[in-house]
């Protein structure tokens, strides 16, 4: 699992760097405007957990997640997005192959509230309009951001900064309505998302990922664009 997590981080950083370079190189050639400034959406789906009580499949004990999102649309390539999410997580050390000290076994259920700010890069200029703008009604995209989580488990609460990393695909049903699917892997810089009993099961200091928790989200959603841009002036505000 250690290799998998490092591969995820390396892939996100590499692709984000490539996307940023490509966007800067082609900014003047591909800067069509979007007709609306803002986007409000809702997403629902399945949540998963990686941590001390589960080292492999994040959806071994699937939970549920609901999200509200708000996007600012500066152009057809980039999006600034804020997300408020609520999700449930669970895990059980009895599912693991390794044996804990004294043969102990632990399970947990947790509710997590998250607040994130992300930058999203569309691989294709996204929108609907005249053909000369070369817009696409669908596009894959990559997301990277920062955030914070508040988790509640076993009668205790904990706050941790987070690093969400995601990718997805969106499709424009109409000029204002969008459908999307997204997978997000979030690193919590803390070890209490799964409750206080699972902070250090092996009573030793461990490496980068074992002393922190991860949670994932696989969601589908719908959003609505609003805030029409100026159509008569000679600039895009």
In a domain, 42, yes or no: yes
In a domain, 193, yes or no: yes
Count of the separate structural domains present in the chain: 1
- Six-digit token string for 165: 């990393």
Give the separation between CA 49 and CA 60, rounded to whole angstroms. 8
Reply yes or no on whether the pLDDT at 24 is more than 50. Answer: no
Is pTM beyond 0.85? Reply is no
Q: Which residue has the higher pLDDT, 23 or 218?
A: 218
- Identify the CATH number of the domain in which residue 120 sits: 2.40.160.20
In a domain, 81, yes or no: yes
pLDDT at residue 87, as a whole number:
95
pLDDT in tens, 113-163: 999 999 999 999 999 875 667 899 999 999 999 999 999 987 889 899 999
In a domain, 233, yes or no: no
Q: Which residue has the higher pLDDT, 213 or 45?
A: 45
| Per-residue pLDDT band at 32 (split at 50, 70, 90) | very low
In a domain, 235, yes or no: no
pLDDT at residue 129, as a whole number:
73
The pLDDT of 179-190, averaged and rounded, is: 94
Give the separation between CA 184 and CA 205, rounded to whole angstroms. 27
Please report, rounded to a whole number, the percentage of residues in the chain having pLDDT higher than 70.
68
pLDDT in tens, 70-116: 999 999 999 999 999 999 998 776 665 665 555 556 777 889 999 99
> What is the domain extent for residue 204?
2-228
pLDDT in tens, 198-227: 655 555 555 444 556 889 999 999 999 999
In a domain, 234, yes or no: no
The pLDDT of 184-196, averaged and rounded, is: 83
The pLDDT of 44-65, averaged and rounded, is: 85
Give the separation between CA 6 and CA 179, rounded to whole angstroms. 30
In a domain, 164, yes or no: yes
In a domain, 236, yes or no: no
Q: Which residue has the higher pLDDT, 116 or 32?
A: 116
pLDDT at residue 187, as a whole number:
93
């Amino acid at each position: 699992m250690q290799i998998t997590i490092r591969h995820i981080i390396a892939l996100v950083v590499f692709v984000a760097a490539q996307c940023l370079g490509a966007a800067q190189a082609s900014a003047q050639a591909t800067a069509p405007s979007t007709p609306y400034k803002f986007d409000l959406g809702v997403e629902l789906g399945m949540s998963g957990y990686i941590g001390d009580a589960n080292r492999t499949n994040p959806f071994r004990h699937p939970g549920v997640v609901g999200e509200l999102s708000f996007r600012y649309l500066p152009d057809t390539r980039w999006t600034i997005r804020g997300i408020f999410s609520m999700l449930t997580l669970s895990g059980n050390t009895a599912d693991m192959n390794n044996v804990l000290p004294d043969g102990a076994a632990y399970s947990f259920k947790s509710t997590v509230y998250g607040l994130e700010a992300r930058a999203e890069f569309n691989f294709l200029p996204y929108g609907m309009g005249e053909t000369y703008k070369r817009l696409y009604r669908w596009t894959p995209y990559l997301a990277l951001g920062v955030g914070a989580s508040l988790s509640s488990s076993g009668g205790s609460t904990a706050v941790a900064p987070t690093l969400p990393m995601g990718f997805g695909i969106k499709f424009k049903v109409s000029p204002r309505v969008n459908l999307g699917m997204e997978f997000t892997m979030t690193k919590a810089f803390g070890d209490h998302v799964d409750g206080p009993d699972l902070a250090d099961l092996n009573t030793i200091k461990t490496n980068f990922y074992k002393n922190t928790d991860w949670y994932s989200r696989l969601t589908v959603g719908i959003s609505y664009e609003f805030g029409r841009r100026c159509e008569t002036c000679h600039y895009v505000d």
